[in-house]
């Protein structure tokens, strides 16, 4: 990122313990103003705890948090210039759409005409203009998600926290809402911090990604860096599909004696040269076909276009890759 960008969020040695359980363990993290930042990781990795610390729903056991240069520890949620969109949307069933959106403004003490005007503007922003009189029960899942977004945005926060907000949607609607969130972020220009366990969401939406595991941040980078240059076996295996190559195999093909990552789409069939392998499994994936081959007792996956000539199980083939596609990793863990 540009070194001249302002810091929106700073974690310095932040931990959150529940008895002997270390939900977050000495996390250092920096998010820049206006960035779409994703926190990615499996369940229990610490990403949601991190978000709750930013929101003020939790307090750190140790370490220091700053939001736009101001200390966050001890500051209640309603005094932080952040708002949260929850996975279950948390809409009030007894209120109609516009009253759900305007609720925070009412609590703040805004007049009725002013808060309704602001709520209408927020609904228009999320493409729900004219639906203010409906109840939440009368809306589709995608519409309820937009209402939750409008309610979070109506207070004009500097940071929008999104806690797996697309988790309840079907695949087609998820993809549509991903595009809408990206467009909304570009339109508003505020900081988005998005928590997800879905690697595709993180890679397709975020400017940068922090990958969590066991309460720690294991790698931070752009989606391209995370995918193409994983720093450990965990990152390579969690983000996308990767062939994890052990050091004894890597040293025989590249001279490096470290664990390495080789993406399936980087491997191709050749007519001569290359490495001899035997086809052990074939999986049709629609636009592509996954070929599992065995080479020197090591199983390797590669992707071929479904229109290509696909060898049969048991057939001997020659596979190859470019030297630069083998990424040597810093850690074996």
Looking at every residue in the chain, the average pLDDT score rounds to 91
Give the Cα separation of 188 and 320 in Å (integer): 46
176, 205, 236 — which closes off a domain? 236
Share in percent of the chain as helix, strand, coil (round to 5): 30, 30, 35
pLDDT of 295 reads: 94
C-alpha to C-alpha distance for 152 and 142, rounded to whole angstroms: 16
Residue 154: which residues within 8 A CB-CB, separation 6 or more?
A: 101, 102, 104, 105, 118, 119, 121, 122
Q: Tell me: do 261 and 207 sit in the same domain.
A: no
Note the pTM of the prediction, 2 decimals: 0.89
> Residue 318: which domain range?
245-328
- Report the CATH number at residue 216: 3.40.50.300
How many Cβ atoms from other residues are within 10 Å of residue 256's Cβ? 14
| Boundary-marking domain end, from 236, 259, 290 | 236
Q: How confident is the model at residue 173 (pLDDT cuts 50, 70, 90)?
A: confident
263, 278 Cβ separation under 8 angstroms: no
Tokens of 232: 């450990």
Structural domain ending residue among the three candidates 209, 236, 263: 236
pLDDT grade for 1, boundaries at 50, 70 and 90: low
* Number of domains the chain is built from: 2
User: From start to end of the chain, where are the E strands?
Assistant: 7-18, 21-32, 36-40, 62-67, 70-71, 82-85, 159-163, 191-196, 208-213, 216-221, 243-245, 260-262, 268-270, 275-284, 288-295, 298-305, 316-320, 327-328
Chain segment 119-171, per-residue pLDDT in tens = 999 999 888 888 899 998 888 888 888 898 899 999 899 999 999 887 767 77
Q: DSSP assignment, residue 313?
A: T
Give the pLDDT confidence of 236-295 residue by residue, as tens digits.
Answer: 999 988 999 999 999 988 777 889 999 999 999 999 999 999 999 999 999 999 999 999
């Amino acid at each position: 990122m540009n070194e001249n960008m302002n810091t929106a969020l700073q974690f310095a040695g932040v931990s959150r313990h529940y008895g002997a359980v270390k939900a977050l363990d000495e996390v250092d993290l920096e998010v820049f103003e206006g960035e779409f930042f994703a926190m990615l990781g499996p369940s229990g990795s610490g990403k949601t705890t991190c978000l709750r610390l930013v929101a003020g729903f939790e307090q750190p056991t140790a370490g220091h948090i700053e939001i736009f240069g101001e200390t966050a520890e001890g500051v209640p949620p309603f005094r932080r210039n952040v708002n949260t969109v929850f996975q279950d949307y948390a809409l009030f069933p007894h209120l109609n759409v516009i009253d759900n959106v305007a609720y925070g403004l009412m609590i703040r003490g805004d007049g009725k005409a002013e808060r309704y005007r602001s709520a209408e503007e927020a609904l228009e922003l999320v493409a729900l203009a004219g639906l203010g009189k409906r109840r939440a029960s009368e809306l589709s899942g995608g519409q309820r998600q937009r209402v939750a977004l409008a309610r979070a945005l109506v207070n004009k926060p500097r940071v929008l926290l999104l806690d797996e907000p697309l988790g309840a949607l079907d695949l087609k609607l998820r993809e549509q809402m991903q595009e809408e969130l990206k467009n909304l972020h570009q339109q508003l220009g505020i900081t988005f911090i998005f928590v997800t366990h879905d690697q595709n969401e993180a890679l397709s939406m975020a400017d940068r990604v922090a990958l969590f595991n066991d309460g720690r941040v294991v790698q931070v980078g752009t989606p391209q860096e995370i995918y193409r240059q994983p720093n450990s076996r965990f990152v390579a295996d969690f983000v996308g599909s990767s062939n994890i190559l052990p050091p004894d195999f890597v040293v025989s093909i590249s001279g490096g004696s470290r664990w390495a990552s080789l993406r399936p789409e980087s491997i191709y069939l050749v007519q001569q040269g290359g490495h001899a392998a035997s086809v052990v499994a074939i999986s049709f994936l629609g636009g592509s076909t996954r070929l599992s081959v065995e080479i020197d007792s090591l199983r390797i996956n590669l992707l071929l276009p479904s229109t290509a000539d696909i060898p049969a199980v048991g057939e001997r083939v020659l596979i190859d890759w470019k030297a630069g596609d083998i990424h040597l990793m810093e850690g074996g863990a």
